[in-house]
């Protein structure tokens, strides 16, 4: 029978993360997203080539007629064409402003959910493995917010020894 253990990671006296596993862990890598860098990125967002490509695509769809074939994927519906027209309303400047606003809204939503609190990015069985994970960004591959989407926007807070939670009998 596999024995499952509950591990807890604490930083500054606060519980940062828990994990149940049959594996043995001794350390946790604790990180925190840099709220100021994320704010600057969201509020200073500049439209990308992908945004321009999306705008061009919506322009093409908006120019189609209802029921017009679209290759092997069926026919354009009234709803698809109406949505495309709504997305390109106001031209490129209006589209770019809505994209920028969506990034700002996403940032504000993350702030409201407490996404900028410290969290465990990686669990390790030894101190040297925890240090390696923190150095080599292995945690980025395991946790989507540890530098994966916003390189340099996440800070290493600490590598802490974990605590094994006592079993409740």
The answer to whether 43 and 32 are in contact (CB under 8 A) is no
DSSP string, 6-54: EEEEEETTEEEEEEEESS---EEEEEEE-HHHHHHHHHT----HHHHHH
Q: pLDDT 10s digit of each residue in the chain, 169 long?
A: 788 999 999 999 999 999 999 999 999 999 888 899 889 989 999 999 999 999 999 999 999 999 888 877 789 899 999 999 999 999 999 999 999 999 999 999 999 998 899 999 899 999 999 988 887 654 554 554 444 455 567 788 899 999 998 766 5
Q: How far apart are CA 84 and CA 57, in angstroms?
A: 9
Cβ partners under 8 Å of residue 9, min gap 6: 15, 16, 17, 18, 28, 30, 120, 123, 160, 162, 163
* pLDDT at residue number 138: 47
């Amino acid at each position: 029978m596999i024995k499952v253990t509950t591990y807890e990671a604490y930083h500054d006296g606060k519980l940062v993360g828990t994990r149940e596993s049959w594996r043995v862990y001794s350390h946790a890598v604790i990180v925190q997203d840099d709220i100021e860098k994320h704010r600057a990125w969201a509020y200073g967002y500049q439209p990308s080539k992908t945004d321009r490509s999306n705008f061009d695509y919506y322009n093409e769809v908006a120019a189609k007629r209802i029921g017009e074939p679209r290759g092997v994927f069926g026919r354009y519906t009234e709803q698809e064409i109406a949505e495309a027209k709504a997305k390109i309303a106001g031209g490129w400047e209006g589209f770019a402003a809505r994209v920028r606003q969506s990034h700002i809204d996403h940032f504000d939503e993350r702030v409201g959910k407490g996404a900028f609190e410290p969290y465990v990015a990686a669990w390790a069985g030894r101190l040297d493995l925890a240090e390696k994970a923190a150095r080599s960004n292995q945690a980025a591959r395991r946790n989507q917010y540890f530098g994966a989407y916003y390189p340099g926007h996440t800070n290493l807070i600490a590598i802490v020894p974990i605590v094994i939670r006592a079993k409740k009998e």
